[in-house]
Structure 1
Amino acid sequence: MVRTLLVRGLLVGLLAGLLAGGFAFLYGEPHVDSAIALEEAAAAQDTEAEGAAPADGGEAAHSHGEEAEVSRPAQKAGLFLATGLYGLAMGGVFALVFAGLRGRVGPRSDGPLALAAATAVFGAVVLVPFLKYPANPPAVGDPDTIGGRTLLYVVMVLVGLAATAIAVATARRVSTKDPWARWVWSAVAFLVPVVAAWSLLPAIDEVPDGFPATLLWEFRIASIGTQLVFWTAFGVLFGWVSDRAARRAASVPAPGPAAAPSPG
């Protein structure tokens, strides 16, 4: 059974990753191109202000375009490879966790459980860190602080996972038959560590002066939208396939006892 779930998670994750890649290509890459154009224009202005010619005789030394080490067309094609690999990884991990959750936590049927688990993962791994440290386009962020920013982001991911585990444990331990009371206690248990982390961890604001606020906002919406597309598609597809497999297994009659041999 675990092997079947793992294969299912890998295939569904790959498909959901390609769907998310299509969304990112259509709605995210145009904003990346705009941010790169701003970055290269700023680099060209800095070079001219210093009285030196650009390194390639007409283009800025820091280039993301056709003359870059990896051209923009190659980067855009690699986007689908990246989201596909992301889907494979997330699908495999999700399937293993799902195998451990079945019959122990959440809804008893596989479809609702898959949707609930995918929603929980999106909230813990994507939404919680994103609200504190949202994604930034090129030309935003100091390269010297990338290590610290990555560490803080990982800390927020761990906080989101821990908060989700605490919320689930709280829901199981609350001794009440009122579902609304259980939901309220679970929400409080989730929000307490999350809000504490949001308050205690340092803020990061490295947006340069003059960077278009609309471009920054649209890039961030496209970024979180890509994750939302992935986890929605993954949860729906994984749940649908799991429910269909469960119905097929239930429709297969159990083998009866072997007939006794007739006396010779």
Structure 2
Amino acid sequence: MVRALLIRGMLVGVVAAVFSFAVAKVFGESEVGRAIAFESAREAAEGVHGTELVPRALQNTIGLLTGLLAFGVALGGLFSLAYACAQGRLGALGARGTAAFVALAGFVGMYLVPALKYPANPPSIGNPDTIGERTSLYFTMMLIALSVVIGGCVTARRLTARFGAWDAALLALAGGLVIVGLAYYLLPQVHETPDAFPADVLWRFRVASLAINVTLWATIGLLFGALTDRALRASAAAGSPGGRGAPGAGSLVATEA
């Protein structure tokens, strides 16, 4: 049932958020601290004194965890709905394979493709007057990327009967790359990182951002797939004569559908 999948996805999102919080604390917070120190030193040199509305100690603990939990729950819920739409439509893939595929597609569409155009910057870097414009550009790129991913999957599936699975996937990939390339070219660039900002700090921050998102999506995909596969096998075993003889992966997908 979709309701069971939705609840499972939200709970898995909580676990993924906790793991992502650990990664953020270990790999990301030190770079954020260095970026804030750079910005504070620059403001002091210019005679500007900003006001810290939320203490830094609160931002990088409860604030960070709360934000990741909210995002993880929402993402897990959306993931479960995407899984419900994809199950049984990806050939012989069972619950684990379908969840892994949906997680990979979500990671590429919601993070990787947009981030290659508009990479993550530390929160203290950038002009605060353009944050609305930069956010709009990022979400525009994300919507384009998601449309390409979804459209590519649908196109590959429809072309499979004519060209075969491998060639159909390559044709869909080529078309998607063309659309993404045009979007990269047509959407404006954003260059707001100060010239004197340490390149190594910026690089490590972006690597940490990648690690956080990989952790989030991988946890959701793998854990959701494992729990769903286990639930399907238990349901199939309970419904079989004498409670024995669980069916194969293809039957499991058909059972849940």
State TM-score, norm by structure 2. 0.89
Indicate which of 124, 128, 131 corresponds to 1:143. Answer: 128
Is the Cα contact below 8 Å between 1:141 and 1:206 reproduced in 2? Answer: yes
Aligned-residue offset at 1:255? 7.1
- What corresponds to 2:201 in structure 1? 215
- What corresponds to 1:76 in structure 2? 60
Indicate which of 238, 247, 260 corresponds to 2:224. Answer: 238
**How far apart are the structure 2 equivalents of 1:122 and 1:110?**
18
Question: Which string of whole-angstrom CA distances, capped at 9 and with x for unpartnered residues, describes residues 87-119 of structure 1?
Answer: 100011111221122223455411100000000
**How far apart are the structure 2 equivalents of 1:244 and 1:179?**
29
Q: Does 1:8 align with 2:8?
A: yes
Question: Which string of whole-angstrom CA distances, capped at 9 and with x for unpartnered residues, describes residues 155-191 of structure 1?
Answer: 1011011101221121111134633212211211221
1:3-42, aligned counterparts within 5 Å?
3-42=3-42
Is the Cα contact below 8 Å between 1:39 and 1:138 reproduced in 2? Answer: no
**How far apart are the structure 2 equivalents of 1:79 and 1:106?**
40
Q: Alignment partner of 1:168: what SS? A: helix
Is the Cα contact below 8 Å between 2:82 and 2:102 reproduced in 1? Answer: no
Larger-Rg structure: 1
- What corresponds to 1:116 in structure 2? 101
Q: Which moved more, 1:170-179 or 1:17-26?
A: 170-179
**How far apart are the structure 1 equivalents of 2:235 and 2:123?**
50
Q: Which moved more, 1:189-198 or 1:117-126?
A: 189-198
Q: What runs of 5+ residues in structure 2 fail to find an aligned partner? A: 243-257
**How far apart are the structure 2 equivalents of 1:121 and 1:156?**
14
- What corresponds to 1:96 in structure 2? 81
**How far apart are the structure 2 equivalents of 1:73 and 1:85?**
20
Indicate which of 135, 152, 157 corresponds to 2:142. Answer: 157
1:122-141, aligned counterparts within 5 Å?
122-141=107-126
Distance 1:134 1:39, change over 3 A: same
- What corresponds to 1:202 in structure 2? 188
**How far apart are the structure 2 equivalents of 1:255 and 1:226?**
45
Indicate which of 154, 179, 189 corresponds to 1:169. Answer: 154
Q: Alignment partner of 1:149: what SS? A: helix
**How far apart are the structure 1 equivalents of 2:125 and 2:226?**
40
**How far apart are the structure 2 equivalents of 1:129 and 1:253?**
45
**How far apart are the structure 2 equivalents of 1:106 and 1:131?**
31
Q: Does 1:250 align with 2:233?
A: no
Is the Cα contact below 8 Å between 1:106 and 1:113 reproduced in 2? Answer: no
Q: Alignment partner of 1:252: what SS? A: helix
Q: Answer 1 or 2: which has greater helix percent.
A: 2
RMSD: 1.6
Aligned-residue offset at 1:73? 1.1
**How far apart are the structure 2 equivalents of 1:84 and 1:241?**
20
Question: Which string of whole-angstrom CA distances, capped at 9 and with x for unpartnered residues, describes residues 6-37 of structure 1?
Answer: 11001001100111111011110100000000
Distance 1:189 1:115, change over 3 A: same
Aligned-residue offset at 1:76? 1.2
**How far apart are the structure 1 equivalents of 2:75 and 2:173?**
25
